[in-house]
Amino acid sequence: MAFSTAGRSGPLADINITPLVDVMLVLLIIFIVTAPILARPIDIALPQRVDRPVDRVEPPPPIELRLDAASELSWDGVPIAAAVLPARLQAEADAHAGQVPELRIASDPAADYQALVTVLAAADAAGMQRIRFVQR
């Protein structure tokens, strides 16, 4: 394809602006159509600030259970029999009906797995929802 360079001394730089004009006209039509829709107010019921004190309920103190290597249980440092654990957990859950205390279980790695499963089953039966495993 040969270009005629007769009478020109510089490079040929013609730009076709027809597609640019077409795009600009389409955008102008879109803005004209959508502008009245965006100008309408939208009623939204937003929450208002209330300047009153909020009654905060203190969470109950956490229950610290420790399972040692001999699979002996202690409740907040006091030894407890495994047979008494379900009733005591249920009593704690009932005493704090609004907010169940957090149960923190520290288990020795050498403790019997079945003893830990028994503790977890008792916690589940009592409705304990916040159980945390801690390391000592």
Question: Degrees (nearest 5) of the Cα angle 73, 126, 63?
Answer: 45
C-alpha to C-alpha distance for 122 and 115, rounded to whole angstroms? 11
Q: CA nearest 108: which of 135, 131, 74?
A: 135
Give per-10-residue mean pLDDT for the chain (136 aa): 60 82 95 84 85 77 90 90 90 82 90 90 89 86
Q: What integer pLDDT is reported at residue 6 of this predicted model?
A: 60
Model pTM score:
0.57
User: Letter for the amino acid at 82?
Assistant: A
Q: What residue ranges define each of the domains in the chain, with the CATH number in brackets?
A: 63-134 (3.30.420.270)
- How many H helices and E strands in the chain? 3, 5
